[in-house]
């Protein structure tokens, strides 16, 4: 946890990362924001998303991601951005959607910060959140199911490690 100077509270900052920041990581961001709100933790946990690539920088999420989130009652307003060097300083956890994202993040991350980079699905058995971009809607539905479980597991872990 880092001290949030503006609000004077200890806040855990989580960055979720995929390749383009238009499909999987915005979906993870939307689910995290929703679950954090439901737990009443909006002043304790901050969420952002980014891509290892800049192909879609400035664009809104893929319509299929927004539709899948919408099916679950979740609205999201964000724009794609690429991972920046200072993200490794600003965030307590940097969660990669697949092993390719993970490898790129670990290469780019300063050595002393490398333990902040983890796989998104690590607390639910590991593996990749598969890239859905060139596939059908079923890929997005599967992404949602995986991410929903993983988000709850990460929030439980953060709760368990929180100092009273």
Q: Which residues are near ligand 4NP by CB under 6 A?
A: 18-24, 55-56, 131, 133
Catalytic residue among 18, 23, 78, 109: 18
**CB distance 96 to 117 below 8 Å:** yes
Q: Which is nearer to ligand 4NP, 37 or 55 (CB)?
A: 55
Q: Which helix (H) or strand (E) holds 150?
A: helix 137-161
Q: In whole angstroms, how close is the CB of 44 to ligand 4NP at the nearest point?
A: 27
| Residue closer to ligand 4NP (CB basis): 51 or 123 | 51
Residue 18 catalytic?
yes
Is 24 annotated in the active site?
yes
Three-state secondary structure call for residue 140: helix
Q: Is 131 in the active site?
A: yes
State the nearest-atom distance from the C-beta of 115 to ligand 4NP, in Å.
Answer: 24
- The H or E element spanning position 31 is helix 24-39
Residues near 43 by beta carbon (within 8 Å), at least 6 away in sequence: 7, 9, 11
Instruction: List, by residue number, the catalytic residues.
Output: 18, 24, 131
């Amino acid at each position: 946890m880092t001290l949030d100077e503006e609000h004077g509270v200890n806040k855990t900052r989580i960055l979720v990362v995929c390749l383009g920041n238009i499909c999987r990581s915005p979906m993870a961001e939307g689910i995290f924001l929703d679950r954090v709100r439901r737990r009443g933790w909006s002043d304790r946990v901050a969420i952002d998303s980014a891509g290892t690539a800049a192909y879609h920088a400035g664009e809104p999420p893929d319509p299929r991601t927004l539709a899948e989130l919408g099916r679950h009652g979740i609205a999201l307003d964000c724009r794609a951005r690429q991972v920046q060097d200072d993200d490794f300083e600003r965030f307590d956890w940097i969660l990669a959607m697949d092993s390719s994202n993970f490898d790129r993040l670990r290469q780019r991350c300063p050595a002393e910060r490398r333990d902040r980079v983890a796989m998104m699905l690590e607390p639910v058995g590991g593996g990749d959140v598969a890239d859905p971009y060139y596939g059908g809607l079923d890929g997005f539905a599967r992404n949602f199911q995986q991410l929903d479980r993983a988000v709850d597991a990460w929030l439980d872990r953060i709760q368990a490690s929180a100092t009273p």
